[in-house]
Amino acid sequence: MADSKAALDDMAVLVYEELRRLARQYLSRERTSHTLQPTALVHEVYLKMLAQYSVDFSNRGQFLGVAASMMRRVLMDHARTRGQAKRTPGLLIDIAETKQAPVDLLDLNRALQQLGALDARQEKIVEMRFFGGMSIDETAEVLGLSPATVNRDWATARLFLSRQMRGDSVADQ
């Protein structure tokens, strides 16, 4: 188990580097769309890791959990660098299917950190769902919880995040 944990930590570095490289490529100015699909990216990295390092993760979910966390870091790095260049920080999370207003990544991150201070498990659930594109079942499996619990935590987490982020934007004005 300890070995496995160490392997994961080592792997996290690799995953982080790989994600960062891909993200830079996707978000570069030379591309017209300026968009990336974080979840697709995470899966891309997963496949690459399997092929390149023949790492044996106990399961795909475990990897995704790590990758989601790394993905969040990559995106945050990107948002901050852009922020320095552009006076205002900001990456936008655009949720095509729901037709809802896109979410500002920095706002989300701030709210997520606040949630994490109250309940780390909920932060992790959101991270895995959001940045790793993991399903409720996958998340439940990796965290050793029942899907019903994950579902409940996910629902209340979203209420919290939504209120925090609105508060942020009002405070911004």
Partner 1 sequence: MTAELWSRIRDVLHELLESAPEARAKILDRVAATDPELRREAESLLAEEAGASALDCTVGSASLNVDRAPARVGAFRLIRQLGRGGMGVVWLAERDDGQFSQQVAIKLLPPFYTDPDMEARFRRERQILAGLEHRNIARLLDGGISDDGQLYLVMEYIDGVPLDTWTRERSLDLEGRLKLFLDVASAVSYAHRNFIIHRDIKPGNLLVTAEGQPKLLDFGLARVIDETAPAPAITQTALTMLTPAYASPEQIRGERLTAASDIFSLGVLLYELLADEHPFAKAGQTAVEVQNAVCQSEPPRPSRVNGHLDADLDNIALKALEKNPLRRYATVDALAQDVRWYLEGRPVSARAATFWYRARKFTGRNRALLSVGGVAVLAIALALVAAVRESRLAQHRFDDARKLANSFLFEFDDAIKNLPGSTPARSLVVKRASEYLDGLMAESRGDRPLQMEIADAYQRVGAVQGDPAFPNLGDSKGALASSLKALAIREALARADPSDSRLRLAIASIHQQISDVLGFSGNIAGAVEHSGKALAIYQNLSASLASDPKLKLELVIQTCNHANLLRSTGHLDEAAAEYRRAVEISQRLVEGDTPDKEARFYLATSLDGLGYVLQEKGDTAGALQNRQKGLAIREQLAASDPDDAHFRRELAFSHHNVGLSLVESGDPASALTHFRRELSLFESLSSADPRDVQARRNRSLAHKQIGDVLMRNGDVSGALDQYRKSFDIDRALSSADPGNAQALLDLSFSEGKLGLALGESGHAREGLALLRTGVARQEALLTRDPNHILMYGHLANSYTRMANYLGASGDHKSAIEFYRKAVAARLRLSEKSSASSSNRGSLAECYTNLGKALAPNDVPDALRQYGKAVELLEPLTLADGANAQYRIALAETLATTAGLYARTASGEEAGSRRLQQWTKARAFYERSRNLWLELDRSGKLPAAGSRSLSEITRELAAIDDSVDRLERVH
Residues that bind partner 1 (CB under 8 A): 27, 34-40, 75, 82, 86-105, 117-119, 129-130, 133-135, 152-153, 155-156, 158-163, 165-166, 169, 172-173
Min dist. Cβ of residue 79 to partner 1 (A):
9
- For partner 1, give the closer residue by CB, 5 or 87: 87
Min dist. Cβ of residue 78 to partner 1 (A):
8
Q: Quote the tokens at residue 97.
A: 């299917």
- For partner 1, give the closer residue by CB, 16 or 130: 130
- Which of 30-68 are b and which e, b meaning 16 or more Cβ less than 10 Å from the residue's Cβ? eeeeeebebbebbbebbeebeeeeebebeebbbbbbbbb
- Give which of 137, 151, 129 is closest to 39, Cα–Cα: 129
- For partner 1, give the closer residue by CB, 59 or 162: 162
- Give which of 88, 78, 89 is closest to 34, Cα–Cα: 78
Which phi and psi angles does 55 have, rounded to 5°? -75, 140
Q: Quote the tokens at residue 28.
A: 């570069």
CA-to-CA separations, 89 to 14, 81, 84, 173, in angstroms, rounded: 27, 8, 7, 15
- For partner 1, give the closer residue by CB, 20 or 152: 152
Asked if 146 contacts 140 with a C-beta cutoff of 8 angstroms, the reply is yes
Min dist. Cβ of residue 7 to partner 1 (A):
26
Min dist. Cβ of residue 151 to partner 1 (A):
10
Min dist. Cβ of residue 124 to partner 1 (A):
15
Element of type H or E holding 67 = helix 60-86
